[in-house]
């Protein structure tokens, strides 16, 4: 069975992300693994072993109770919607990014889901700077859900194409997801200065998906913006997009993962961000 790895710190932000994870698990036919990682503060790491054991035992008991509550919420959702969503949990001790990476390699999930905080947005989510490490290193799709995201009905998904060699592979994956969600896929490329080659490359992508375009389940567009962020923002609003997908390249993709640009996006973005690693 396919899996979703849901990372949580039991905050309101993480609880909001669960509202998106549950219907996704239903539509994608996935089992949900709720994951929490307990990390001792540095001051506690200097304590005597027996005191550390007591602290960890208390933290683990609290975490298990919270994880069981998430399972209960899943059961309630499944009962209300007459669906079956299998669940399990992972409770680990260590640095969150490392623990998430290890769990993902074991589960090979369809998605790793995390809530994002209000301040710092996509760059700072429930484990703070953990996002930066996951964006760069996680080998599985990472879904970041902003704290103020509220439309859990995903019907329009946009993919910001960098017009790279792996765009076709990512579009194929997104079309499969869209078919399961009964959603439309909008693929677009935006830049401040457009080149003839941009249109040629998008035309090449067009030739790869004649059936999807014919069925109106896929739209391809090239557009110019005052800035990349403004262009993306206008496109998301104009098309009523419910989820934005991007590919993280080891070489900067449209500079979207520069320190400043994601923060600018987060200030006015209220939709989930789905990040794929480049296909090599």
User: CATH code at 136?
Assistant: 3.40.50.620
pLDDT of residue 48: 57
pLDDT of residue 257: 46
Task: Classify residue 141: in a domain, yes or no.
Answer: yes
Residues 51 and 173 in one domain: no
pLDDT of residue 121: 39
For residue 42, the enclosing domain spans 2-146
Task: Classify residue 167: in a domain, yes or no.
Answer: yes
Task: Classify residue 67: in a domain, yes or no.
Answer: yes
Instruction: Give the domain-ending residue among 96, 124, 146.
Output: 146
Residues 100 and 163 in one domain: no
Instruction: Give the domain-ending residue among 146, 178, 196.
Output: 146
Residues 138 and 169 in one domain: no
Residues 27 and 62 in one domain: yes
Among residues 73, 112, 62, 68, which one has the least CA distance to residue 89?
Answer: 68
Side by side, which strands form the sheet with 30-38?
A: 87-93, 30-38, 2-7, 111-116, 142-146, 273-277, 243-248, 156-160, 184-191, 218-224
Across the chain, which has 280 residues, the per-10-residue mean pLDDT values are 92 92 96 89 56 70 92 96 96 88 95 74 46 79 90 93 87 96 94 85 90 92 84 90 86 48 51 82
Residues 138 and 160 in one domain: no
pLDDT of residue 126: 39
Task: Classify residue 97: in a domain, yes or no.
Answer: yes
Task: Classify residue 151: in a domain, yes or no.
Answer: no
Task: Classify residue 26: in a domain, yes or no.
Answer: yes
**Number of domains the chain contains:** 2
Contact 15, 42 (CB under 8 A): no
pLDDT of residue 269: 64
Task: Classify residue 106: in a domain, yes or no.
Answer: yes
Residues 125 and 165 in one domain: no
Residues 12 and 135 in one domain: yes
Residues 161 and 186 in one domain: yes
Task: Classify residue 180: in a domain, yes or no.
Answer: yes
pLDDT of residue 34: 97
Instruction: Give the domain-ending residue among 146, 164, 198.
Output: 146
pLDDT of residue 120: 42
pLDDT of residue 2: 93
pLDDT of residue 119: 45
Residues 140 and 165 in one domain: no
pLDDT of residue 51: 60
Residues 119 and 202 in one domain: no
Residues 178 and 244 in one domain: yes
Question: What CA–CA distance (Å, rounded) separates 72 from 142?
Answer: 24
Residues 178 and 137 in one domain: no
């Amino acid at each position: 069975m396919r899996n979703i790895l849901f990372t949580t710190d039991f905050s309101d932000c993480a609880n909001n992300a669960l509202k998106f994870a549950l219907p996704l698990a239903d539509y994608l036919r996935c089992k949900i693994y709720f994951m929490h990682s307990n990390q001792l503060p540095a001051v506690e790491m200097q304590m005597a072993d027996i005191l550390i054991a007591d602290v960890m035992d208390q933290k683990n008991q609290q975490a298990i109770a919270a994880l069981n509550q998430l399972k209960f919420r899943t059961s309630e959702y499944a009962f209300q919607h007459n669906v079956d969503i299998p669940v399990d949990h992972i409770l680990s001790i260590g640095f969150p990014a490392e623990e998430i990476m290890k769990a993902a390699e074991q589960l090979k999930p369809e998605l790793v889901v995390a809530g994002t905080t209000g301040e710092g947005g996509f760059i700072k989510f429930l484990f703070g700077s953990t996002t930066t490490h996951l964006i760069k290193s996680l080998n599985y799709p990472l879904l970041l859900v902003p704290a103020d995201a509220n439309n859990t009905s995903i019907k329009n998904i946009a993919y910001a194409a960098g017009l790279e060699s792996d765009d076709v592979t990512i579009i194929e994956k997104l079309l499969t997801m869209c078919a399961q969600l009964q959603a439309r896929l909008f693929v677009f490329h935006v830049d401040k200065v457009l080149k003839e080659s941009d249109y040629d490359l998008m035309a090449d992508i067009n030739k790869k998906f004649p059936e999807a375009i014919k069925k109106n389940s896929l739209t391809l567009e090239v557009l110019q913006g005052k800035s990349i962020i403004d262009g993306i923002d206008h496109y998301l609003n104009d098309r009523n997009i419910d989820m934005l997908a991007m590919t993280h390249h080891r070489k900067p993709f449209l500079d979207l993962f520069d320190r400043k640009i994601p923060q600018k996006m987060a200030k006015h973005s209220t939709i989930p961000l789905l990040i794929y690693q480049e296909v090599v």
